[in-house]
Amino acid sequence: MARARIVDPDQGPRSKRAAILDAAVEYFGETGYETTKWSDVADRVGIGQTALYHYFESKAHCLLTIMRLELQRSHDMFTEATADTSDPVEALRAGVRSAFAVSEQEIRQMRVLQANMSLLATPRKSKREETERVAARQLVQMVERDWTNLLVRGMAKGAFPVRDAHMLGLTVLGMIVSVWRWYRPTGAIPLPEISDLIEGCVVRMVGE
């Protein structure tokens, strides 16, 4: 899989913001947020540590931005993947496949997101951190709503048995995101094989 830079619509043509986000994703994803030194990120980008504060007021602000951008990417990918079919089963399959159609950098982003979800539960004292936290929480709700609505449409068409669509959607999401807690690109199981397995499990679980 090709390495993709994190997409940030707020960056300008000469901005170091995207490079900082990329470096932070690599460090947070490989060694963990808590153990990553802010100075290490600056060294990777090739700027002084004080220059980081032009873009992010803290390491937490950077992390929350990464989480918000990854949630937006996941929402956009799901929306695009499921928009072209009226068949609920195929839409369900497409939604699962979209979750695993990712680059190595995006895998790190998802690992960072899932490892730090608890950060979204508590309000931040910093206004900029709180803005990112609130936006990320809203996106979590949007992602959950995406899956719930897909299942509701399928139930309305008789494609899926009628059940609690919200709870079922959360279960599907939980199955998908759990992969990023253990999967590594250098591991023995290729991602397409994992994607096929999860897709089959989700279709059987929703359809039975």
* Per-residue pLDDT tens listing for the chain (208 residues): 444 455 555 555 467 999 999 999 999 998 899 999 999 999 999 998 888 999 999 999 999 999 999 999 999 999 999 998 889 999 999 999 999 999 999 999 999 999 999 999 999 999 999 999 999 999 999 999 999 999 999 999 999 999 999 999 999 999 999 999 999 888 899 999 999 999 999 999 999 8
Work out the burial of residue 2: count CB atoms within 10 Å of its CB; fewer than 13 is exposed, 13-18 middle, 19 or more buried: exposed
37: which 2 tokens? 């030194």
Residue that has been written with the tokens 């990329």 in this structure:
22
CA distance 108 to 184: 9
**What domains, with CATH codes, occur in the chain?**
59-207 (1.10.357.10)
CA distance 185 to 190: 7
Task: Report the Cα 27 to chain-centroid distance in Å.
Answer: 17
**Rounded (5°) CA angle 39-44-48:** 50
- Give the pTM: 0.89
